[in-house]
Structure formats: structure tokens, C-alpha cells
Amino acid sequence: MKNYASDIQMFLGMREIQKKIILNEKCVHSLIENKEIMNVDIEYVVDDTLPDFLTDIKLFGSIAVTSSPSDSSGLVSSKEKQAQLLVSEEEQSLDNITLSFEQELETSCYEITGCCVTVRGRYLFIDCNGGNEKLQALNANGESQYNIPLSSRYSSFDLVRIDDRTVAITTGYSGVIIIDLNDRNVKRSIDLPTQPFGICFNGNSLIYCCHNMDMHVISCKDFSITKIPNTSTSEYSYISSHASKIFYTDPDENQVNCCLYSGVQVWEFKNESVLRNPRGITVDHKGNIFVVGMESQNIVVISSDGKQLKEIEMDQLNRYQPSSIFFDKIKKQLLVSEQDSVANLYNIAYIYFGFVNDVL
């Protein structure tokens, strides 16, 4: 620079170099102050008990390989995307919901009062027959896999899936039991102050209907019990939940109720010309409520805001006395049990402007 630059060029060049030096000095000082360039030594010390551990332990565990249906709800075709653009959730009509028969399931139950489907595709049923209560599991082909007797100590009424290996069952007397489906034993028994009937699981807690009492909530963390005020129900009431709302049936009043977890009532549905003796209740992935009417012999679909209604008569589906119902969010199917030993599986289609949305 001294050989080829003028005085003014050298002055400006040295000034620019000085700026960069000062900036780099600040960066280095910052690294030192923040201890970001300290040397780190890692020393490994062998625990004295490790030799004994290696000698005593013969097997660290085992690996089991199982297969289960995949959740294809995240796959959206171009036609479905186009339909979703044309119709918002609020604009969708219940008239566009259709059911088609898929499969009949024959159980060894005498009186089915509860049903559900596991993630692996097993069908679970509760037999409420006095003296012979049990949980029965069928595989995806409808073949019986096993029975878990429940009459000797617990009885049974309704069940809900907590995860793929655990279910909770209301005993119909004064308690809830939690069963491990792998070893088929009762993991926990929870005593309750009154007779429980329908039960649901919201991801964190179990919520169940109580005879002539407010609904109770059981925390699955510490199994503490709280109440939801202003939610007294009658015998054979069932319950389901979706987002911030709870939906439950009241057979004595022939009505369906919707409330918040605070107990505030959002809406109630009562139309005895359409729904009589409502029993099982379930909610689909869109928030639509499906209720079975045992005396009215039908399935009633109610929108999440309680403003829309669709009736599906059971004689159209070749069955006549439904007792419980479950919506399989993975396969988009309805499992509907009769009061006797039979249950039926139905595919649900949501059809908008000629497009079939969310159907397998």
C-alpha cells in the first residue's frame, strides 16, 4: 500500500482496516466473556457395580414385531383438496353423510352394552349379561380372539380405549376398572360414590356418567376425582367428547345434551318423534354426533352446534335395536352394536358437490 497508494488512499485504507480490527476484537472478547472458547475435558469413570451388572443381567429385553393399520387421514387427494376449497366445515350439510354396510360381526355376547375399536383393528365388546359379564375381543376378520371374564368381582357396562393396550370399563355397580389387554388382567380398580354407566377418554382424563349425580372426571395422572356441575344423568346414559365439548345422552328424558367442562350447558336436543331412548353416542373427526335410539330404532346424526339433524333408520341397515356405537377415526367407520350378540360395521362417506370426501 505504501509503494503504490497515494497518501489519501493509504489513509482511507488504514481506516477501513482499523474498523475491521476493532470489530474482530469485540467478537473475540465476546467469545471469551461468554466462555464459548473454553477447553472442555470429558472424563469417563467406570461405576464399581458395572462388572456385577454385566454378570447378573443375561437379557436386556425382547423385540416383538406387530403390524397395524396406518392412519391415512393425512393423505388428501387432489379431488378432496378441491372439495375442501369449495365447502368449509360450517357449510357442510349432514344430508351429505351416507352410510354403507361393510361387515357383520357375530359375538358370543348375550347383551352388548359397549363397543370400541383398537388402533390395531381389534373389535372390543362388553357383555352385560348378569352373571356372565365379560369383555370379548374379535380380530379384524371378525374371529374371536379372547374373552376376559368380569362377573366374579366387577360386572361391566361400558368401555373406552385409553391406548392400544389399555381400556377402562364401568362396572355398572360402583367403580371403574382399568384392564391391560396384553396380560388380560385388571391393573387398577377405582371405587366411585355411585353407579357409573357411559364412559369416555379425552386424552388426559376419564369422564363417566353417574346415576342421579353429576358427571365425574378421573385424572389418569393421579386418579383424583372431580365433578362437572349441573350434569346429572339417568340410568344407561352414555357420553362422548370432542374439543372443548362433552356430549351425553339422557334416556329418561329422551334427549341429548352438550356442555362445557365447566358444566355450562351449550345446547340440548329433544325430539321424541325422531329420537326415543337414546343410548350410545360417539363423535366423528368433524365434530358430528352420532346417537343410537333404542326405542326409535335408528341412528341420529347431530351437528356439533346442535342445529342440524339427520335420521338414519335401522331398517335401512337391516338392524333394529341398537345399543352402543363407536366411530373409528382411523378407518372412518361406524361400529354399531345391537342389544343382542350382533354388531355391524359401516363405512361413512362425506359427499360434497359430487366429491367423496374422507371415505376409505
How far, in Å, CA of 170 to CA of 155, rounded? Answer: 8
DSSP element (H, E) containing 140: none
Distance CA 63, CA 60 (A): 10
The pTM of this model reads 0.74
Domain 78-357 has CATH 3.40.630.10: no
CA distance 52 to 331: 50
Report how far residue 88's alpha carbon sits from residue 80's, in angstroms, rounded to the nearest whole number.
12
- State percent of the chain over pLDDT 90: 57
pLDDT of residue 320: 67
In the structure grid, which three cell numbers stand for residue 19, read together?
474498523
How remote is the C-alpha of 55 from its chain's centroid?
44
The grid coordinates of residue 27 equal 467478537
Q: For the residues 302-323, what does the mean pLDDT come to? A: 81
* pLDDT class of 90 with cuts at 50, 70, 90: very low
Q: Is a pLDDT exceeding 90 seen at residue 354?
A: no
What's the rounded Cα separation, in Å, for the pair 320 and 297? 5
Compute the mean pLDDT over every residue in the chain, rounded to the nearest whole number: 83
- pLDDT for res 360: 43
Summarize the confidence of residues 293-297 as an average pLDDT: 93
| Residue 45 confidence (pLDDT) | 61
Phi, psi of 10 (to 5 degrees): -65, -35
Predicted confidence at residue 58, as pLDDT, reads 52
pLDDT per position as a tens digit, 341-351: 999 999 999 87
237-267 b/e (C-beta count within 10 Å ≥ 16 → b): bbbbbbeebbbbbbbeebbbbbbebeeeeee
Q: Kindly report, residue by residue over 160-188, the tens digit of the pLDDT.
A: 999 989 999 998 677 899 999 999 999 99
**What residues pair up with 99 in beta bridges, in sequence order?**
348
Give me the pLDDT at residue 73, please.
46
Across 271-293, average pLDDT: 96
Rounded to an integer, what distance in angstroms lies between the CA atom of residue 287 and that of residue 305?
9
Closest to 301 measured CA to CA, from 266, 330, 336, 353: 336
**Nine cell digits for residue 171:** 362396572
Q: Where are the alpha helices (DSSP H) in the chain?
A: 7-33, 50-56, 78-86
Return d(Cα 5, Cα 11) in angstroms, integer.
9
Rounded CA-CA distance 337/94 in Å is 22
Whether 30 has a pLDDT exceeding 70, the answer reads no
pLDDT of residue 27: 74
Domain boundaries, the chain: 78-357
Q: Residue 308 belongs to what H/E stretch?
A: none
Phi, psi of 282 (to 5 degrees): -150, 165
Write down the pLDDT at residue 89: 47
The band of 46, judged by pLDDT with boundaries at 50, 70 and 90, is low
**Beta pairing, strands 342-352 & 355-357:** antiparallel
Q: What is the dihedral of CA 129, 130, 135, 141, to 10 degrees?
A: -20
Report the pLDDT averaged over residues 136-148. Answer: 95
Strand partners, 327: 334
Distance of CA 278 to CAs 262, 291, 334, 354, Å? Answer: 24, 7, 17, 33
Closest by alpha carbon to 292, among 274, 267, 308? 274
pLDDT in tens, 230-271: 999 999 999 999 999 999 999 999 999 999 999 999 999 999
Give the per-residue pLDDT at 218.
96
CA distance 12 to 359: 73
Model pLDDT, residue 11: 73
Enter the C-alpha cell of residue 307.
342445529
